[in-house]
Amino acid sequence: MQQSLGVAVIGAGMAGKAHAAAYRAASTVYRPVLPPIRLVSVADVNTALGQETAARYGFERHDADWRSIVEDDAIQVVSVVVANFLHREIVEALLAAGKHVLCEKPLSDTIEDARAMAVAARAAAASGVVARIGYSYLRAPGIAFIERLIADGRLGELQHFSGRYWTDYGCRPDAPMSWRYRGPAGSGALGDVGSHLAYIAEALCGTATEVSGGRFHTAIAERPEPLGPVVGHSRGDVGEKLIPVENDDYATFNARFERCVGTIEVSRVAAGHPNTLELEIFGSRGAARWSQANPGRLEVMLLDEQDDVAGYRTVALGPAHPRYAGGWAMDAPGVGVGQNDLFVHQARAFLEEVAGIPESESLPRCASFDDGVHHMELLAAVTRSAELHGAAVPVPAA
């Protein structure tokens, strides 16, 4: 067995906790082939949160400054799970120190930073350092099953895709200002939740080549100053001072993909929808739809059914489907897989690659930083389309 891998997580907020929990559980799914995982540190400037998260998930310590992780030779693997505008500085320092990095999506909130990070990742790869980006929903068995239906030809030629990711974390005017409301055009709902939907759409429909119909809307122009730390979508006490919102509350666009066309609509002000990620894809021989609200199920419609029973059927995902058998403590049909579980498979895939387990024996690899740059190019093209009142804008080739 290989020497142990020391792990750290930078950022103990909403997604940071999911990464910390996932590293703890990564060795408990699939075959026991990973080297021992040593949970070393959780770093957060909010020391109370860092301390709580480290204690909760069994990490040896917490750090207030992420540079302590960079300098620690006992740490080889680091997740970067802080605000997008902070990714570049931290990731570049970690890669320069030879740490393997799993960075949260999107790679950054500017295309320039994302490109610089990809250059750093390519340089680090020459010394065997792995830099990857976490697109957690690609681990969802329902989405993997739609990928299989497409690859098998069971849906036929793809015709069109429709996806929405509606959230309501910003629907109340008293939701406090946070990093999510700051940044360039396109770094709001589009960068936050639209980034998830865009990479899922590309996984199913092929690479995006052109976008059009870009439209952004900022529904709430100012938000109150928080009187304490804001973590994830938490609210809490706010002051009198109002701070301008800089980016989009709502975004929509059309896209031409390699295999079909589609429409995407995302929001952070869709009251009543805390986390509605839904998608539907239509082909010449059938259709499929999946919702994060019911992630252990997939609806499939196949046109070669007899007319009198044609229609959507609901399939309970289980060991017959991808990313299931052996992949969970209880992997029986109908048991279901939730959003937190996806981080476990993501951490597992990253640790397998770092540990040198061949790709053929591993979970699908996490995406590269070059993939992350392409993804940022897609979001930048949507922003350009919105600036041009919906004009068609090409997406640069990946």
Residues 103-162 that bind ligand NAD (CB under 6 A): 104-105, 134, 136
Could you give the string, one character per residue 209-248, with x where binding to ligand NAD holds by CB under 6 A and - elsewhere? --------------------x-xx----------------
Identify the bridge partners of residue 316 per DSSP, sorted by sequence position. 297
CB of 13 to ligand NAD, least distance (A): 2
260 sits near ligand NAD (criterion: CB under 6 A): no
Give the pair of three-digit tokens for residue 130: 């792995």
385 sits near ligand NAD (criterion: CB under 6 A): no
Q: Which is nearer to ligand NAD, 81 or 144 (CB)?
A: 81
| Minimal CB distance residue for ligand NAD | 13
Distance CA 379, CA 184 (A): 12
Among candidate residues 171, 172, 173, the one with its CA nearest the CA of residue 242: 173
Show the CA angle centred on residue 169, arms to residues 83 and 238, nearest 5°. 80
What CA–CA distances, in Å, run from 116 to 86, 119, 122? 13, 5, 10
Q: Which is nearer to ligand NAD, 300 or 337 (CB)?
A: 337
Structural element, H or E, at residue 6: strand 5-10
User: Of residues 6, 39, 44, 111, which one binds ligand NAD by CB under 6 A?
Assistant: 44
With contacts defined by CB under 6 A, name the span among 20-28, 81-89, 307-315, 371-379 that binds ligand NAD.
Answer: 81-89
70 sits near ligand NAD (criterion: CB under 6 A): no
Identify the bridge partners of residue 394 per DSSP, sorted by sequence position. 210
Biggest distance spanned by C-alpha atoms of the chain: 67
User: Of residues 5, 6, 7, 11, which one binds ligand NAD by CB under 6 A?
Assistant: 11
Structural element, H or E, at residue 23: helix 14-25
Residues 304-363 that bind ligand NAD (CB under 6 A): none
Give the pair of three-digit tokens for residue 277: 């990620």
Distance CA 109, CA 246 (A): 12
What CA–CA distances, in Å, run from 266 to 167, 215, 342? 8, 11, 21
With contacts defined by CB under 6 A, name the span among 77-85, 160-168, 218-226, 356-364 that binds ligand NAD.
Answer: 77-85
With contacts defined by CB under 6 A, name the span among 83-91, 92-100, 145-153, 360-368 that binds ligand NAD.
Answer: 83-91
Show the CA angle centred on residue 158, arms to residues 156 and 163, nearest 5°. 130
User: Of residues 61, 86, 156, 291, which one binds ligand NAD by CB under 6 A?
Assistant: 86
User: Of residues 7, 8, 10, 189, which one binds ligand NAD by CB under 6 A?
Assistant: 10
3-state secondary structure 172-210: CCCCCCCHHHCCCCCCCHHHHHHHHHHHHHHHHHCCEEE
Q: Which is nearer to ligand NAD, 22 or 357 (CB)?
A: 22
Footprint of ligand NAD (CB under 6 A): 10-16, 43-46, 49, 66, 81-84, 86, 104-105, 134, 136, 192, 229, 231-232
